[in-house]
Structure 1
Amino acid sequence: MNNQNEQAPLEPIFKLLKFTFVIVPIVAGADKFTNLLTDWENYLNPTIASIIPFSAHTFMMIVGIIEIIAGLIVLKKAQIGGYIVAAWLALIALTLLASLSYIDVAVRDLVMAISAFAMARISKITE
């Protein structure tokens, strides 16, 4: 099977995943400044909150900037961005699991991390 034949059925899947991992990190990152969707500070592991040298709000704004940048990287370089988003989501899930809170969100973030990893792998074929 040549590359063209392999690429065709994956293209719409890749585009959907790429769109998702551009938009969701940018929206979630921007919301760290407004808290319209949720109060993001509630998701911060208390152990991390106790060791950072600034407020939880400031930490979440830094997180928001990182998420916006990650979404933009996916837009420009889906493979690299996909791996970054996958790692980022896995780390978020691990901090939630470590605090034994928001286990449902941790599981969702792990599923999203797997999806971002899959998008990064598919991008090798489609881009």
Structure 2
Amino acid sequence: MSTITANYAHEVSTVAISNRQKVINILKWTYGLVPIAAGADKFTHILTNWDQYLAPVVTRSIPVQPHTFMSIVGIIEIVAGIILLTRPKLGSIIVGCWLCGIAINLILTGQFFDIAVRDIVMAIGAFCLHLLLRNENERIS
């Protein structure tokens, strides 16, 4: 009678790396494309009227009209999304910090707390992407 042995530890490790890579790719594309789409929509207002989300304290302290300011915000969001897609480790920090800033602005409005919470959760996801990439030596596809 003979005994057959197999190295299952190697097989599990390969699956874990594959799943990790899938998660990284999903987060990368999500956090790259959503800011680009939201930034582009600052010019078209197809999704919503973005100007309504600007806190009055911010509106009073900026030297331009709120719509002009939101257009600048749109450009910044598009650039942040592009950075995330091309340099995900850096871009994930930028997008995460940007989302925290948006959440603070929303809290300052005195309303939109539900959207602020959503943006904080999204920021946590962006920071998690950064943590996944910290030890990543291979190029993300």
Which TM class, normalised by the smaller chain length?
A: over 0.9
User: Where in structure 2 are the equivalents of 1:54-73 lying within 5 Å?
Assistant: 54-73=64-83
Alignment-derived partner of residue 101 in structure 2 = 91
Alignment-derived partner of residue 75 in structure 1 = 85
CA distance in 2, matches of 1:7, 1:74: 21
Deviation for aligned residue 1:51: 1.2
Alignment-derived partner of residue 4 in structure 2 = none
CA RMSD of aligned residues (A): 1.7
**Aligned with 1:41 (options 30, 35, 51):** 51
Deviation for aligned residue 1:95: 1.4
Alignment-derived partner of residue 6 in structure 2 = none
Q: Any stretches of 5+ residues in structure 1 without a counterpart?
A: none
Once the two structures are superposed, residues 28-55 of structure 1 have per-residue CA deviations (whole angstroms, 9 ceiling, x without a partner) of: 0000001110000000001100111111
The amino acid of 2:73's aligned partner reads V
Q: Any stretches of 5+ residues in structure 2 without a counterpart?
A: 1-8
User: Where in structure 2 are the equivalents of 1:97-112 lying within 5 Å?
Assistant: 97-112=107-122
TM-score (norm 2): 0.84
- Identity, % of aligned positions: 44
Q: Is the 8 A contact 2:80 2:94 kept in 1?
A: yes
Q: Is the 8 A contact 2:57 2:108 kept in 1?
A: no
Q: Is the 8 A contact 1:7 1:125 kept in 2?
A: no
Alignment-derived partner of residue 53 in structure 1 = 63
Alignment-derived partner of residue 40 in structure 2 = 30
CA distance in 1, matches of 2:38, 2:47: 8
Who wins on radius of gyration, i.e. which is larger?
2
**Larger RCO, structure (CA 8 Å, separation 6 or more):** 1
How many pairs were matched up?
A: 126
Alignment-derived partner of residue 115 in structure 1 = 125
Write out the 4+ residue segments of structure 1 that deviate beyond 4 Å after TM superposition.
Answer: none
TM-score (norm 1): 0.92
Q: Is the 8 A contact 1:30 1:64 kept in 2?
A: yes
More helix by share: 1
